[in-house]
Amino acid sequence: MPEFFKVIKYEEALGCIKDNLPRPASGKIKINEAWNKVLAKDIICPEDMPPFDRSTVDGYAVIAKDTFGASESMPAFLQYIGEIKMGEKADLALEEGKCVWIPTGGMLPLNANAVVMVEYTEKLGEDTVLINRPVAPLENIIQKGEDARKGQELFKKGKFLRPQDIGFLASLGIAEVEVFMPYRVGIISTGDEIIPVEEKPDGAKIRDVNSYSLAAAVLACSCAARNYPIVRDNFNELKACLNVALRENDIVLISGGSSVGVMDVTLQVLKSFPEVKLLFHGLAVKPGKPTMGARIGGKLVVGLPGHPVSALTIFYVLLKPLLSGSQAVKTEAVLQANISSQAGRDDFIPVVLRDNDGVLEAWPLLGKSGMMSILAMADGYLHIPYEKQGLLKGEKIEVIIF
């Protein structure tokens, strides 16, 4: 099995995690619960949308050729024969030289093939309408099936549903969709020095940070987060807690105990499971070198560093891209300081973004991995790839927004 110092590249670890993610369960849910969920099967259009030719403006439904040549100086005069009411079927047929009033969204009467906007008309008495602008056939009309055709593939399996997608489904009468259920992610924070957030630190104790920051990050990926009680640096305690977490979750995150010190027991616990497949132990990254990954009985376990900045950074760069499914939000900025790096390692540097007279500047936040204020101040991070030895002040860089 790989040992700690046999580090692997970031891209390798990303692929390794992707290949070993459990297959999510699927199920049907109401569309009002489907925002940001992932479709588990293709969606086929059940009916034409719209189901009838309809107007896109308030105005008069006409036969287009009756308006040809119309202008303010030489208007066309059409006979007004009634109106179409919203939500009611148009049960009349239009003849040449005639028109009917129609609201936005109204159903076109038979033979009508265009709508003149009300702004280009004038009602003269009870039965005459003046038209001072011509319309082409199909102008200001959405035809039956123009939005979507029955039998058409609307969305493919794997699509993240946005608010506009849900509205589109509602317009077609699709009230339920089959989606992949959110991953259930268990979070175990370890360490003899860790105490609950409600307690006041005494001596060398520190409050639990990772349980809260990681749970929030998991929820931001539209996954379900479950926190477990703090576990001491004890083999039996951690194994017992991990056994429970594996039964209740698809993925388990363990913060702390992933290095190679005497008190770091995470690797020992993982190896004690007969069905374990150790994926890696050690990444060529900064921060987060002592990260490990394993698969146990179809479940994914990721051991994260105990330092809060390292733990959350690794979540952002290694797990978030796979759990959230959506594309990362990125922006271009001008780097405001030199940053040195070491070839043969991927570096992830938190940055603050500032607008300077229309130029977006990126200011790196450099500090130690235990300083949570660094990430709290940051707007995002930049990535120095494996083969580079740093970045220079004034370079245009890509910033991934948190």
Domains and CATH numbers, the chain: 10-24+182-323 (3.40.980.10), 27-49+146-180 (3.90.105.10), 54-142 (2.170.190.11), 330-401 (2.40.340.10)
Q: How far apart are CA 162 and CA 147, in angstroms?
A: 18
Q: How far apart are CA 75 and CA 230, in angstroms?
A: 82
Q: Average of pLDDT values for 116-121? A: 98
Q: Picking from 50-64, 114-128, 260-274, which range would have the lowest pLDDT averaged per residue?
A: 260-274
Q: Is the pTM of this model over 0.85?
A: no
The pLDDT assigned to 170 comes to 97
Q: What is the mean pLDDT of the chain?
A: 93
Q: How far apart are CA 52 and CA 173, in angstroms?
A: 15
Contact 370, 307 (CB under 8 A): yes
**C-alpha closest to that of 22 among 255, 230, 286, 299:** 299
Q: Average of pLDDT values for 190-203? A: 91
Contacts (Cβ under 8 Å, ≥6 apart) of 206: 193, 194, 195
Percent of the chain with pLDDT over 90: 88
Q: Average of pLDDT values for 206-226? A: 95
N- to C-terminal Cα distance for the chain?
A: 34
Q: How far apart are CA 239 and CA 289, in angstroms?
A: 23
Q: Picking from 169-178, 202-211, 283-292, 324-333, which range would have the lowest pLDDT averaged per residue?
A: 324-333
For the chain, the maximum distance between any two Cα atoms, rounded to a whole number of angstroms, is: 96
Cα 187 to chain centroid, rounded: 22
Token couple for 230: 């703090």
| β pairing state of 59-62 and 114-117 | antiparallel
Cα 257 to chain centroid, rounded: 32
Q: Print burial letters for 251-287: b (CB count within 10 Å at least 16), e (below 16).
A: bbbbbbbbbeeeebbbbebbeebeebebbbbbbbbbb
Contacts (Cβ under 8 Å, ≥6 apart) of 343: 386, 387, 388, 389
User: Does 211 have pLDDT greater than 50?
Assistant: yes
The pLDDT assigned to 352 comes to 97
The letter for the amino acid at 180 is: F
User: How do residues 301-349 score in pLDDT, each as one tens digit?
Assistant: 999 999 999 999 999 999 999 998 667 889 999 999 999 998 899 999 9
User: How do residues 78-98 score in pLDDT, each as one tens digit?
Assistant: 999 999 999 999 989 999 999
Q: How far apart are CA 375 and CA 320, in angstroms?
A: 16
The pLDDT assigned to 6 comes to 83
Q: Average of pLDDT values for 61-88? A: 96
CA dihedral sign, ordered 135, 140, 144, 147: positive
User: Does 209 have pLDDT greater than 50?
Assistant: yes
CA dihedral sign, ordered 28, 33, 38, 43: positive
User: How do residues 349-397 score in pLDDT, each as one tens digit?
Assistant: 999 999 999 999 999 998 765 678 888 999 999 999 999 999 999 999 9
The pLDDT assigned to 232 comes to 94
User: Does 2 have pLDDT greater than 50?
Assistant: no
**Torsions phi, psi for 315 (to 5 deg):** -60, -45
Q: How far apart are CA 40 and CA 28, in angstroms?
A: 9
CA dihedral sign, ordered 205, 210, 215, 216: positive
User: Does 1 have pLDDT greater than 60?
Assistant: no
Q: How far apart are CA 146 and CA 261, in angstroms?
A: 66
User: Does 273 have pLDDT greater than 90?
Assistant: yes
The pLDDT assigned to 203 comes to 82
Cα 230 to chain centroid, rounded: 31
**C-alpha closest to that of 307 among 260, 255, 377:** 255
Which residue in the block uniquely carries the two structure tokens 């990260």? 291
Q: Average of pLDDT values for 285-312? A: 95
